[in-house]
A and B are shown apart, each in its own frame.
Chain A
Amino acid sequence: MAKVFAVTVILIAIGSAIPILMHKWVPPVDISTHGPLIDEQLSETMVEAGISFLAAQFILGLFVWKYSNTPKSAKIRNFPGGATGLVTAAVLLVGLEAMALGIFGAKAWASVYFTPPKPDALKIQAQAGQFAFYFRYPGPDGRFGPIHPDLINEGTQNFFGLDPDHDPDSKDDIVTAELAVPVNREVHLLMHAKDVGHSFFVRELRIQQDFVPGLDVSVHFTANKTGRFEIVCTQLCGLGHYNMKAYLSVLSQPDYDTWLKQQATMQ
C-alpha cells in the first residue's frame, strides 16, 4: 500500500506538471506595455513553485516507499542535519526565493501603480453598474461634466447622470458601451462605481482593478496591439454578474478618430 501511495503521489505530481509544460493553459498573448514584466514574474514564479512542488511530492513519495513496513529490529534514524539543517534550508532556500520574488515582483507592480500617468494620457471614464459597463470620453473640450447621481436613469439612457443643459462641460461628453482606445497611446481610465462593487478585467491587457463605490480609483495602461478583447466583471455584483461584459477595441489612431466621431454623432 505504501508503494502504491508513493507511485500515486509521483504520478499526480508529474500529471499536474504536464499541462503547465505544454503551455496550453496560460494567459493569452499580452497587448500592454507593462504586461511583459508581469508575464516574466509569472514564469519565474512558476519555475520556482514548480520545483518546490515536484521536489516535495517526489521526496514524500520516496520516503513513504522506503521507510514503510521496516523490520521491527530496525533502528530509528534521523535525517542528516536534523531539524537545524531543515530549518536552515527552509529559511535560506524558500525564504530567500520568496523574498527575491517579492522584490522583483514589486517592480512589475510599480510599473502599473507607482508611476503616474503622463499628463497627455487619454482620459476616459469607466462606469460600472448592475450589470453593464459604460464609458465616457470628454469630447473636444477635454473636460468631463459632473455626475448628478439623482439624474442617472437607464430608461432615458442618462447612464452617467449628466445635465448638459446646465453643465457646459457635459455638452460634448461622449458616452459609449464599448471602450475604444488608440494603439500605443497611454490611457488613463477613471473608474466610477454606480451602485455596488464591480471590477474591470481584460486578460490580454494584464489589468484587473475593482470599482469601489464611494471611491474614485484609476488605472493607466498603454495597449500596443490592435484587436478586440472582452472586458469582464470579476467582482460579484449580483444576479447578472456572469453576464456583465463589454468590449475593448484597440484601434489605430485614424480608426480611433473615425470611431470617436461616429460615436459623437450618435449622442
Chain B
Amino acid sequence: MHDMSAHALQHHAPPPGFVRKHIFSLDHKVIGEQYYGLALLAVLIGMVLSWIMRLHLAWPDVHIPGLQLLSKNGAPGGVLTPEYYLQLMTMHGTIMVFFVLTTAPFAAFGNYFLPIQVGAEDMPFPRFNMMSFWVTFVSFCVAVAAFFVPDGPPLSGWTAYAPLSALGAIAGPGQGMGQVLWAVSIAIFCVGQLLGALNFITTTLDMRCKGMSLMRLPLTVWAWFITSCMGLTAFAVLLPACILLFLDHVAGTSFFIPGDLVVSDTLQPHAGGSTLLWQHLFWFFGHPEVYIAIVPGMGIVSHVLITNMRRPMLSHRVLIYSMGALAFLSYMVYGHHMFVSGMNPFSSLAFSFPTLAITIPSTIIVLIWIGSLYGSKLRINSPSLFALGFISLFVSGGVSGFFLAQPSIDIILHATYFVVGHFHLVMALAATFGIFAGTYFWFPKITGRMMNETLGKIHFWFTFVGAYCIFMPFHYLGMAGNVRRYQAFVDDFMQPFIPVHKFITVAALVTGGAQILFLYNLIYSRFRGQPASENPWQATSLEWTIPSPPPFNNFGDRIPVVYHDPYQYGVDGASDDYVMQDSPEQTQSVRDEK
C-alpha cells in the first residue's frame, strides 16, 4: 500500500484558465465529465439511428422527413435504400459499443470517481489521461466522418467481418473510404483506451491513501480495475487487427483475404490471407468487450444498492472474486461467436464449456445481490430503481446465454434476432441501467445539486417496461428463425413476423422518446436542482467526505486516512446507521475487512 505523503499532494496546481480548466484539462474529474458528454452525444446519435432502422423494418416504404439531407443516395426522398440500412446499422453498433458502452460506465465514471474513492488527488499520469480522452474524441470524429464521404459509412456491421471489410469499394457501398475510416477510428480508439487502462491500474495499485488496503476498495474501484486489466489485453489485440485491416485496404496486403476470390466477375489480386483470422482477433477483443461494458455496471449497481439497502453485500470478497473470474473466463469463451463459422468443430466444444462455466460467477453475483436484499432496509429512489432494474435485465439477458453457449442450439439460433435480444438485454440495456443508476446517484456529488426524483422515477418506468417490450419479443422472433441484419423481410416464412416488428418499433420510439425526460432532468437539475449536501445518500465511501462539487484537488489540503472497509452500514453502536470510511470512530463491524 502506498502512503500518500505530503509531497504527493498538489502535484498539479489549480488550472490557470478556461482552456486548461474545461478543454485540455488534466483534472480527472473534468476528463470524466468530458467522457460522459461524449457518451451522451454518441448515444443520441446511436439512438436516432436505431429509430430510423426500426421505422424502416416495420414500414419499409416510410418517408422519414429530412433523412435525405444525411445522404441523398442512401435515402432518396427520405426512404432508406438496402445498403444505407446496413450502413446505419454498422454505425449504430460501432457508436453504441465503443463510444457509449465502453466510455460511459468505465471511462466517464471511472475517471471521475476512481481517484477519489482510493483517496488520491488525481491519476498518476494526468497528461496521458487528457490524451486518452482527446484521442478517443478524435476517434469518434473519424468514425462519424464516414457519414460524409461519398459512399458513406461501411455496411459490414460493427464486427467488420473480412473479406467483406477488407476487399475495398468493389465489395459494396461504403466498403472503400468508409471502411478505412472505420478501421482508423477503432485503431485510434484502442490507443485511447490503453492509455486510460494504464492510468486506472496504476491509480488503483499505487495511489491508495493510508489505510486503503485492497479489500477496503469499494466495489466500483474493483470493477474499474478489473475492467482496465481486460481493456489492456483486449484493445491491445484489436489495435493490430485494425492496422492489418487498414493495410489490406491501402497497402495491397492480404492478411484477411484469401486467393481466388471473384467479386463482380473480377478476380481479386489477393492471395494467402485468412478470413477466420479476423474473426479470431476480433472476438478475442469482442467477448472481453462485453464484460468491459458490463463489469463497471456491476460495480456501480453494487455500490448504489449497498447504500440504499443500508447494509454491506453478503460477501465483499466473493463479489470481487466473481468479477475477476468473469474477466479471466472472458478470454476463453470468445469462440462461441464462431460455432458455425467454419472453425474446427472440436474447437466449438472446447469453447462451449468455459461459456457454460461463466454462468457460475454470473449466478454467484446475482445471488449475492438478491440474497443481500433479504433482511435489508431498502430505500426506493431513482438510483436504486435503476440498480434493481439492472439485476432484472441482467438475469433476463443472462439466461438466454444458456442457449447460445451450446453449439448444437446455436445451429438454429445463430444470426437470428434471439442473439440481438440476448446481447441488448445483457450488455447494452443492463449497462445502460448501470449508467443511469450511477448518474442519479453521483449527480449531486458532481454538480452540487439533486436530480428531480419524480422525473427520475417516471424515466425509470418508461425505460424499464420499454426495454422488455423491445427486447423480449426479439427472442421469440429468433426462435422462429427471424434472421438479423436484414433490411426487409422478403422471405415467406418471415411475413408473420412483421406485426411483431411493428410493435417493437412503437415500443422503441416511446422508450427512446422517454429519454427526453432524462435529458431535461440532467440539464434542468444542473442549474435549478435542489442544492445537495456533501453526503445526501448517507453513504460511506470517500467521495462523500468531500464537498459537492469536489475542489480541483479532491481532498483540499487534507490527507485522507481510511479506517474501515467501504461499506459500514447497519453498524451496532455507531452514532448513525453508518460509519464513514475515513471516520476514526472505533466501531467494529463483523465484516470490517483488514
B174 nearest CB neighbor, chain A only: A239
A45 touching B406 in the complex, CB below 8 Å, given contacts A90-B360, A101-B356, A208-B411? yes
| Chain A contact residue count (CB 8 A cutoff) | 102
Which of A53-61, A133-141, A180-188, A252-260 lies at the binding interface? Answer: A53-61
**Which chain A residues lie closer than 8 Å to B167 at the CB level?**
195-196
CB atoms of B411 and A237 under 8 A apart: no
- Chain B proximity of A161: nearest CB distance (Å): 7
A99 touching B415 in the complex, CB below 8 Å, given contacts A5-B385, A129-B262? no
| Chain B contact residue count (CB 8 A cutoff) | 110
CB atoms of B415 and A101 under 8 A apart: no
Contact of B341 among A12, A38, A69, A212 (CB under 8 A): A212
CB atoms of B377 and A74 under 8 A apart: yes
A:208-267 near B, CB below 8 Å: 208-215, 217, 230, 232, 234-243, 245
Complex Cα gap A150–B260 (Å): 8
B146 CB-CB contact with A under 8 Å:
no
Complex Cα gap A25–B472 (Å): 12
CB atoms of B476 and A19 under 8 A apart: yes
Q: Contact string, A135-158, partner B, CB cutoff 8 A, digits 1/0?
A: 000000000000001101111000
**Which chain A residues lie closer than 8 Å to B262 at the CB level?**
129, 149, 152, 161, 194-195
- Chain B proximity of A87: nearest CB distance (Å): 5
B:359-405 near A, CB below 8 Å: 359-360, 363-364, 366-368, 370-380, 385, 388, 391-392, 395-396, 399-400, 402-403, 405
Which of A118-126, A166-174, A199-207 lies at the binding interface? Answer: A199-207
B402 nearest CB neighbor, chain A only: A49
- Chain B proximity of A214: nearest CB distance (Å): 2
**Which chain B residues lie closer than 8 Å to A98 at the CB level?**
356-357, 359-360, 402, 405
Q: Contact string, A37-57, partner B, CB cutoff 8 A, digits 1/0?
A: 110011001101110110011
A208 touching B412 in the complex, CB below 8 Å, given contacts A114-B345, A196-B164? yes
Complex Cα gap A214–B268 (Å): 12
A:94-129 near B, CB below 8 Å: 94-95, 98-99, 101-102, 105-106, 108-109, 112-114, 129
CB atoms of B409 and A105 under 8 A apart: yes
CB atoms of A150 and B406 under 8 A apart: no
Contact of A57 among B374, B392, B492 (CB under 8 A): B392
A82 touching B479 in the complex, CB below 8 Å, given contacts A98-B359, A239-B155? no
Residues of A within 8 A of B (CB): 1-2, 5, 8-9, 12, 16, 19-20, 24-28, 37-38, 41-42, 45-46, 48-50, 52-53, 56-57, 59-60, 63-64, 67-70, 72, 74-79, 82-83, 86-87, 89-91, 94-95, 98-99, 101-102, 105-106, 108-109, 112-114, 129-130, 149-150, 152-155, 161, 194-197, 199, 201, 203, 206-215, 217, 230, 232, 234-243, 245
Report the 5 A-B pairs with minimum CB-CB distance, sorted nearest first: A214-B258, A77-B375, A83-B315, A25-B476, A108-B408
Residues of B within 8 A of A (CB): 81-83, 86, 155-157, 161-164, 167, 171-173, 257-265, 267, 273-276, 309-311, 314-315, 318, 340-342, 345-346, 348-349, 352-353, 356-357, 359-360, 363-364, 366-368, 370-380, 385, 388, 391-392, 395-396, 399-400, 402-403, 405-412, 414-416, 457, 461, 464-465, 468, 472, 476-477, 479-481, 483-493, 569-570, 577
